[in-house]
Every structure is written in structure tokens, then in C-alpha cells.
Structure 1
């Protein structure tokens, strides 16, 4: 096939797949952008529970992180999308017969990828906690700050600085994991690429296009996190 005809397959409008690939890329970004803060914040709560919670809370948080780090992401996705849906239907059948419950595929993707992301994020936060000298806590106590104020005003700014590299890596992993949601009928970038390649039989063209799109997103993301780390390092130099 001539190069002009191949490129026309990537055009926007009738006869091209550009619109569909763009929609898939936007869905990939939307899924990642919604899931990421959920996973990072949940992971932070898990880390807090492991550090300062009671025995039951600490044990539950450790078990949660252990389970979802051990399960394949695809299995977690199936458990949330199908398992939770069945459980909710049985619950509603008992309390509200006739009510049909369906979990949206997007929501299932956010929850499944979010809990996996949170289990790894908890390790990042725990590592950041260990990097903060104990003297910081003692100084805050000497100033009469409560534990909550100490965490918010003294510890968390330093914590975020130490956690940034790990958080950036988690974002990159999450971007790749979004391709798994195609199994629950979400037409993100990888799923749309497969459809376009299967329809046109131009597998190399569409897979190399997906490669370029993922690479661009990763490059922009990497530069953003590198910028944040550089700003954080400047702040540390000023403190020194």
C-alpha cells in the first residue's frame, strides 16, 4: 500500500481512524488521571495506618497491601468488575428486589487499578517516612504542635519531596496498566488500536502509532515529574 494511503488511515474524519485513536488516548489519560490521585491518597492512608494505627488497623493495612501486590492486575480487574457486581446484585435482591445494579466499566477500572496502585504507593510513602529524621518530630513537639499539625505543616512537605521519584514511577506504571481495561469493554488507546489494526490489517502502522502516542505521554509525564523534583531540590538547597 502506498505511503499516502497508509497515512490516510490515520487521518481524522471519514475513512480515517484518527478520531477513534484520539478518543482512545483521551480515555487512557482520563482513566489514569482519575485513578492516580485515588491510588496515591489511599496509599498514604495505608502507610499512616501501618505506622501509627492500632494493631487491628495496622494488620488490616499490611494485609491489604500484601494481597493486592500479590494479585495480577488483570485478576483484580475481574474481581472488581464481575465479583463486586455479583455481590451487589445479591445484596439488592435481598433488600430491594427488582433493582438492577451494574458497575460502570470506567468505575471498575478506577477502583481495580487504584487499589493496586495504592498498595505500591504505601511502600513509597513508608520509605519516605523513614527518610525524615526523628528530630523533626521532636522539634514540632517542643513547639507545642499537635500530631495532626506536625504531619500537615512539618512532615508532609518533606515527605512529598522524598516520595516524588517513587510517585513518578507509579504514574508510569499506571499508564501502562490502563491497557488492561480493554477486557471489560473500555475502548482505551490499546483496544482501539487493536480494532483499527484488525479491521484494516495494517498491524504495524497502528501498533507503531500506539507506540509513539504512549511514548509521547510518557515523555511529557517524565519531564513534568523531573521538573517537580528539580523544584523540590531547589527548596532543599535553600533550606540548607
Structure 2
């Protein structure tokens, strides 16, 4: 078969399958980023808390999930999670091995890793907010909820966006490791296509190219978001 036929969208082509796998990669990364945002926010609150045990717990979390290899975390969540679910199932009378959904557990594992990096991004963004603005808001009696909505959160988003863009790229690459669970994301599908056709160079190049396309589009999206947020702040500053 020719290269065009192999990469086509016909019955024998892999084009549609690869695009579907790329969409699965994006879905995993988006889900992981959302999970990481929730976890990162909680860890940021813990690390900036006045309670010492919360700060220690936050430091332990970020140290562990940034220090342990990502693949080991995925193995632990997938195989350890399956073992745990199987044990619980046996308590309730189930038999045999019970596997966990690869998409769910893979997104959770990458999300936990992403949360450790996002926590540091959010913490740095919070510390970058002018203390004078917060003190002025308190001085005029602004409620804490309004201060969060009008002053803290908008500036945290502004300062955190570049870092979140980097975390997105990290999660996009980490999603390739979920292939060890059998999920048909881009790397796994590229491996299957290469093994089925013996065109290893072709399909790994195509897979890498699709990752590069997703990366370039992601960069454009984040650059646009940063520019728009920057214009909004400049406009609001000029009005004030």
C-alpha cells in the first residue's frame, strides 16, 4: 500500500483512527487539567495557610508528585487501583479481576501530577498580587468575597496564564504515558498502526507531527488568552 492509502480515510487507511486517537489525547489532557486545577487550588490554599500542618501537607504533595516519575504514578493508579477495586468487589461477592476504566484512571493520574505543578503556579501568582491593593480593599471595608472576585482572582489568572500554558504542554506529553493502560490515545494508536503495517518510521513520524500540531495550536490559544487578559487589565487601569 502507498503512503496515501495508509494515511487515508478509507477502509484500509489509518487517517480517521489517528485523528480519533488525537481527540482522545486532547480529552485526556483537558480532563487532567481540570482535575489538576481543582487539586492545585486546594494545595495552594494549604501552602499559603496560616496552619502549619496544612503547609506541611501541601509541601509533601508537591514534592512527591513532582519528584516521582510520571510513569510510576500511572502504574500505581492503574494497577493498584484495579487491585483495590477487585478486593472490594470480592468483599461483596464478585469474582475474577475487576479492571478500572483506563480513561478515568489515566486522567486522574495525570491530573494529580498536573495539580502539583499548578499549585506552584497559583501560589506564585497569589504572591505576585500587590499587597497594597488587598490592604486598601480591607481598609475601605470591602467584603472578602468581593475582594476575591474583583481583585485577587482576576490578577491571579493574569499572572498564572503563562505557567498554566506550560503545565498544559506537560500534561499533553504525559498523556502519552497512558498508552501503557491500553487506552487508544495517539501514541498507543501509532504503535498499533506501526505494528500492523510494519511502517514504524511513517506512523511514529505522523504521531509526532500530530503532537506538534496540537502543541502549536495550544500555544496560539494561550498566547491569545494572555494578550486578551493583558488588554483587559490595561483598559481597566486606564478607566481607573
Same fold by TM-score greater than 0.5: yes
* 1:26 equivalent in alignment to 2:35: no
For the residue of structure 1 that corresponds to 2:232, the secondary structure is helix
Structure 2 spans left out of the alignment, 5+ residues: none
Distance 1:92 1:150 in 2: 48
1:110-158 deviation line (CA, Å, top 9, x unaligned):
1100000000111111111121111122122123233343223310100
Distance 2:150 2:233 in 1: 16
Shift of 1:74: 0.5
* 1:77 equivalent in alignment to 2:74: yes
Distance 1:63 1:157 in 2: 28
* 1:178 equivalent in alignment to 2:202: no
Matches within 5 A, 1:78-157: 78-94=75-91, 96-98=92-94, 101-157=98-154
Distance 2:103 2:45 in 1: 28
Comparing 110-119 with 125-134, which one deviates more in the overlay?
A: 125-134
The number of residue pairs the alignment matches comes to 236
1:8-62 deviation line (CA, Å, top 9, x unaligned):
1000121111122122111111111111121123212211111025222222122
Distance 1:147 1:35 in 2: 30
1:211-236 deviation line (CA, Å, top 9, x unaligned):
22111111111001000111122123
Shift of 1:210: 1.2
Distance 2:79 2:205 in 1: 33
Question: Which residue of the partner structure matches residue 214 of structure 2?
Answer: 217
Distance 2:149 2:98 in 1: 40
Distance 1:85 1:131 in 2: 42
* 1:161 equivalent in alignment to 2:162: no
Match of 2:48 among 48, 51, 54: 51
Question: Which residue of the partner structure matches residue 231 of structure 1?
Answer: 228
TM-score scaled to structure 2, two decimals? 0.92
